[in-house]
Structure 1
Amino acid sequence: MTNWREIHENDCALPPGRGLDELTAELAEALGSPDPEIRDGYPYAVLDAWIRSGVIDGERCLALGDLMAERFTDPRIEARTFAPLVLRMIVNQGGTRPGWLDAFAAWYRAEADLRGRDDTLGWLHAVAHGADLLGAFGLRPEVDPGPLLVLAAERLLAPTGYLFAEREDDRLAKAVALVLTRPDLTPERSTAWLAPIAEALAPYEYGPMPVWASNTVRTLRALYLLADLGVCAERGGRPVPLAHGEVVKAGVAEVLRLPLRQAGDGIPTRSKGVERPPM
């Protein structure tokens, strides 16, 4: 097996006597490995460096993207949840095919195993990894941002027993905020995706909330903050304002009004004559 650590420590230089097609295929296999030391270790770092630097580009990148799109239907959870990370590397460099987004969307709205981390498999992180790809698609001018916002809402509203415990809410909020930086979005399209969320949360104005509702509320709180402060596409980068930040803040606040009302007195409300039940 290739010593990926040695390659990484050698500034990711191509090893002599090895073909790039062979190495790319080995990296693709490694990124679906059940061994977290392989899947999330040096092979991941080398693949990212080679895609960023253009060592793997053109047809090789497109073929790798096609393979990752196929993995969204793989029976192995570790293969499904690392596919969006590889696709994000490619999309960030400008490579896209229409079928990739379709395959991703079908998986992201329906994935049932949302565990952040498994004791044996390591990081899985379906929601967070998918969010990273969603945000990358959202920054591509050839991709319509509206369906991406709808997809984020569908992911939040899908029933689940997994309470976000590994900052999935922050990652998904960041992805949505990146989509909302698109200058071609109108104020109406920037908030239309919130309507089904508001409708779904309405029955939980009082009393306990299901897990999916708690996840949704926490994600929207994080989005409100990003709408106020701006969002960074890269770690350490300069925050970019949302195209219609004030409109998004108002829309998110309206959705959060009902579930937050039970938190205590003093929450503004437009409803009249509703008696608050005993706590």
Structure 2
Amino acid sequence: MTELSQALRSPDPVVRDERAYPALRALIPRLEPQQRLELGDAMAERFEDPQIQARTFAPLILAALVEQGSYAPHWVAAFARWYPAERDLRGYDGELGWLHAVAHGADLLGALGLHSPADPAALLELGAARMLAPAGQLWDAMEDERLGYALARTLTRPELTPAQSVDWLDAVAADFLAGEPGPVPYHASNTLRTLWMLALCAERGVRTERHGDGERRQLTHREAVRGRLVEVLAIISPYLA
């Protein structure tokens, strides 16, 4: 396990992405509970690693751990500090391969939203913070779809109140309302496309599992979310009737 964990930091995408990651993910179901917690602690520490690939592959392993039933509140705290603060938003790099900070973080957000006792309202606010953080580029590798899907998974939590299901969108609405004429900022375009994905999930339901068919669930307060999404999207989209 230690060797695979270290290989997950490798700048070589073959070592990291094609060998270490699938091998470590496959190993997780066979680990003892304490081993899983130790692995999760190591991944949570990676959010402060100086190497971008180390930071962005940590949430994938944490997501796999959470999906297997492991959880620690300090994992969520470390993730919440890193996710909206990460500024290297490259999807793919010619030398390093896939980095995908937004998408990999979204996978962890969705896993926490569906499979852990983490506060779903706080997770929704974290997703909004990631969307609204300054961005130097458009998300160009389906990051918006993965984050929209993660938010949708979180919005299926039964304990959410109607207000909690929509209040996190207030920050998005305020950002859109503060916009000025001219080119749409990168973060606003990223947010717009993420919310369109969420709107589609609200309409059709959301698959609970990222891989395979899985169960399709409706958002807990589907109508409230759909209505608020229309209001928020209409602020920036002149084509929404």
Give TM-score scaled by structure 2 length.
Answer: 0.96
Q: Which runs of 5+ in 2 are unaligned?
A: none
* Map of 2:93 onto structure 1: 118
Among residues 33, 36, 48, which one is paired with 2:13 in the alignment? 36
Runs of 4 or more above 4 Å deviation: none
* Map of 2:228 onto structure 1: 251
Among residues 145, 148, 152, which one is paired with 2:120 in the alignment? 145
Larger relative contact order, structure 1 or 2 (CA cutoff 8 Å, min sep 6): 2
Looking at structure 1, the residues matched to 30 and 44 of structure 2 have their Cα atoms a distance apart, in angstroms, of 21
Among residues 234, 238, 241, which one is paired with 2:218 in the alignment? 241
SS of the equivalent of 1:74 reads coil
Looking at structure 2, the residues matched to 225 and 146 of structure 1 have their Cα atoms a distance apart, in angstroms, of 20
SS of the equivalent of 2:30 reads coil
Deviations 1:34-63 (A, max 9, x none): 110011012222211121xx3223111111
Looking at structure 1, the residues matched to 92 and 64 of structure 2 have their Cα atoms a distance apart, in angstroms, of 22
Preserved contact between residue 228 and residue 246 of structure 1 (Cα < 8 Å): no
Among residues 29, 47, 50, which one is paired with 2:24 in the alignment? 47
* Map of 2:237 onto structure 1: 260
Let me know the Cα RMSD of the aligned residues. 1.2
Give TM-score scaled by structure 1 length.
Answer: 0.83
Looking at structure 1, the residues matched to 21 and 136 of structure 2 have their Cα atoms a distance apart, in angstroms, of 30
Note the 1:41-120 alignment, pairs <5 A: 41-51=18-28, 54-120=29-95
Give the counterpart letter for 1:153 in structure 2. Answer: A
Moved more, 175-184 or 140-149: 140-149
Deviation at 1:128, TM superposition (A): 0.2
* Map of 1:212 onto structure 2: 187
Looking at structure 2, the residues matched to 237 and 55 of structure 1 have their Cα atoms a distance apart, in angstroms, of 22
SS of the equivalent of 1:41 reads helix
Bigger radius of gyration, 1 or 2? 1
> Aligned pairs, how many?
239
Query: Share of identical aligned residues, percent?
Result: 51
SS of the equivalent of 2:104 reads helix
Deviations 1:156-197 (A, max 9, x none): 010111101000000000000000000000111000000010
Moved more, 243-252 or 40-49: 40-49
Preserved contact between residue 80 and residue 126 of structure 2 (Cα < 8 Å): yes
* Map of 1:202 onto structure 2: 177
Preserved contact between residue 205 and residue 258 of structure 1 (Cα < 8 Å): no
Q: Which runs of 5+ in 1 are unaligned?
A: 1-23, 269-279
